[in-house]
Amino acid sequence: MKKILALLLMLCICLSLAAGLSACKKEHVHEYSAFWTFDEDYHWHDCVGNCGSSVDKAPHEWDEGKVTQEADEETIGLRLYVCKLCGKERVEKFEFDPSNGPTTTVREDQMKRAFDRDRFRNVTMTFYATDSGEFASEAVYLITENGLYRYLLDEDGVKHDERYYLATNTGYDVYTKDEKGIWQVETISKQRFATNADYAGRFVDQYSVFADNYEKFEYSEQDKEYQLFSEIIAKNNISYAVMRFEAKRLTFFGFLSPASNSLDYSTDFYGNYQEFRFENYGTTSFTVPFDVAH
Ligand SMILES: [Zn+2]
Ligand SMILES: [Zn+2]
């Protein structure tokens, strides 16, 4: 008996629901929201009755955009666009374009960052020096978190004077070859490494004087590099510097210590010329040709 009553009750409910629905369908007049609904590309007005009907569907009308993050050698720029009708936001990235800047003079933060010691923790640095126009030396330094591998190249490009500085808990193990070509090891302190062998640190210490003269550098549209051809006087040395930034890094740095009045660094320069080239930022590594047990 209870079962029959329950069935009847359910039947009633179903019937009244059906009646209600059909009545709604007949009487529904779309009423469109004052607010926009949107997706990535379009905006539109939905019917508030949630029937799925919509009107006014159209692509967003983006404003002219506003830079929310300036780009430089280090940072991707961000520009925010807002749809003038629905308020939908869209962010676009843009690359640094030095020729596009308000000034062609290198900024202080750019220069300071180029000389930041931390940038030279994982980099290959090649050092060239010429003296009175003659080839003098070429040295390659692979600088990593775990140590330093250095070698010299002679005029024929032959590697010699290899040296490994491998970090230990207390300092560094320095490996050099003796006259018989056998690797010998000596242990040095962290401090001695920093003062004698940490070329990244020494580079920063010695040449940050150029970073302090950032105002004197100018960007050359033609050469795509920052240049300085006026004097930098530091500790009784007068120097002339050329720098190049590529892919947001300092990649080239050359300077002259002129012994004469000549300033044409690219051809005949009768003075001392030193050139640093930096590459493989973040990917420099080396392996030692012998077993090392710490
Ligand atoms: Zn509707
Ligand atoms: Zn819109």
Q: How far is the CA of 38 from the centre of ligand 1 (A)?
A: 18
Where b means 16+ CB within 10 Å and e means fewer, 31-58 reads: eeeeebebeeebbbbbbeeeeeeeeeee
Residue whose tokens read 């030193």? 274
Q: Is residue 47 part of a domain?
A: yes
pLDDT of residue 131: 65
For residue 25, which ligand has an atom nearest its CA?
A: 1
Cβ atoms within 10 Å of 172's Cβ, excluding its own? 24
Let me know whether 206 and 66 are in one domain: no
Beta strands in the chain (DSSP E): 37-38, 42-46, 54-59, 66-69, 77-82, 89-94, 123-131, 134-144, 147-153, 159-167, 171-177, 183-189, 218-220, 225-227, 232-234, 237-246, 249-257, 272-279
Q: Is residue 28 part of a domain?
A: no
pLDDT of residue 278: 93
Domain range for 236 is 108-279
Q: Is residue 5 part of a domain?
A: no
Let me know whether 70 and 146 are in one domain: no
Q: Where is average pLDDT lowest: 35-49, 55-69, 96-110, 198-212?
A: 96-110
Q: Is residue 1 part of a domain?
A: no
Q: How far is the CA of 13 from the centre of ligand 1 (A)?
A: 25
Let me know whether 167 and 250 are in one domain: yes
Q: Is residue 11 part of a domain?
A: no
| pLDDT above 50 (res 262) | no
CA angle 225, 228, 232 (to 5 degrees): 145
- Does 133 or 282 have the greater pLDDT score? 282
Distance, CA of 176 to CA of 185 (rounded, Å): 7
Q: Of 96, 119, 138, which residue constitutes the final position of a domain?
A: 96
Q: Is residue 120 part of a domain?
A: yes
| pLDDT above 80 (res 137) | no
For residue 42, which ligand has an atom nearest its CA?
A: 2
Q: How far is the CA of 236 from the centre of ligand 2 (A)?
A: 64
pLDDT of residue 46: 96
Let me know whether 143 and 248 are in one domain: yes
For residue 29, which ligand has an atom nearest its CA?
A: 1
Q: How far is the CA of 81 from the centre of ligand 2 (A)?
A: 11
pLDDT of residue 24: 47
Q: How far is the CA of 46 from the centre of ligand 2 (A)?
A: 14
Q: Of 71, 96, 121, which residue constitutes the final position of a domain?
A: 96
Let me know whether 234 and 91 are in one domain: no
pTM given for the model: 0.61
Cα–Cα distances (Å) from 133 to 128, 138, 155, in that order, read 12, 14, 14
Q: How far is the CA of 25 from the centre of ligand 1 (A)?
A: 9
Let me know whether 258 and 123 are in one domain: yes
Largest Cα separation within the chain, whole Å, is 119
pLDDT of residue 12: 44
Q: How far is the CA of 31 from the centre of ligand 1 (A)?
A: 6
CATH number at 228 reads 2.50.20
Q: How far is the CA of 52 from the centre of ligand 1 (A)?
A: 7
For residue 39, which ligand has an atom nearest its CA?
A: 2
Q: How far is the CA of 44 from the centre of ligand 2 (A)?
A: 8
Residue range 114-122: mean pLDDT, rounded = 86
Q: How far is the CA of 62 from the centre of ligand 2 (A)?
A: 7
For residue 89, which ligand has an atom nearest its CA?
A: 2
- 37, HSE (Cβ side, Cα atoms, 13 Å): 14
Burial class (CB in 10 A: 0-12, 13-18, 19+), 138: middle
- Does 172 or 197 have the greater pLDDT score? 172
Let me know whether 215 and 191 are in one domain: yes
Q: What is the average pLDDT score of the chain?
A: 79
Helix (H, G, I), strand (E, B) or coil at 60: coil
Let me know whether 87 and 125 are in one domain: no
Q: Of 43, 70, 96, which residue constitutes the final position of a domain?
A: 96
Q: Is residue 123 part of a domain?
A: yes
Q: How far is the CA of 86 from the centre of ligand 1 (A)?
A: 21
Q: How far is the CA of 263 from the centre of ligand 2 (A)?
A: 59
| pLDDT above 70 (res 132) | no
Let me know whether 268 and 140 are in one domain: yes
Number of domains in the chain: 2
pLDDT of residue 225: 78
| pLDDT above 80 (res 159) | yes
The band of 292, judged by pLDDT with boundaries at 50, 70 and 90, is confident
Let me know whether 40 and 171 are in one domain: no
Q: How far is the CA of 88 from the centre of ligand 2 (A)?
A: 6
The band of 22, judged by pLDDT with boundaries at 50, 70 and 90, is very low
For residue 55, which ligand has an atom nearest its CA?
A: 1
Q: Is residue 13 part of a domain?
A: no
Q: How far is the CA of 69 from the centre of ligand 2 (A)?
A: 23
| pLDDT above 60 (res 5) | no
Let me know whether 66 and 150 are in one domain: no
For residue 44, which ligand has an atom nearest its CA?
A: 2
Q: How far is the CA of 28 from the centre of ligand 2 (A)?
A: 27
Per-residue pLDDT tens over the stretch 199-244: 888 888 878 877 888 888 887 777 777 887 766 655 545 567 788 8
pLDDT of residue 286: 94
Let me know whether 58 and 159 are in one domain: no
| pLDDT above 70 (res 165) | yes
pLDDT of residue 17: 47
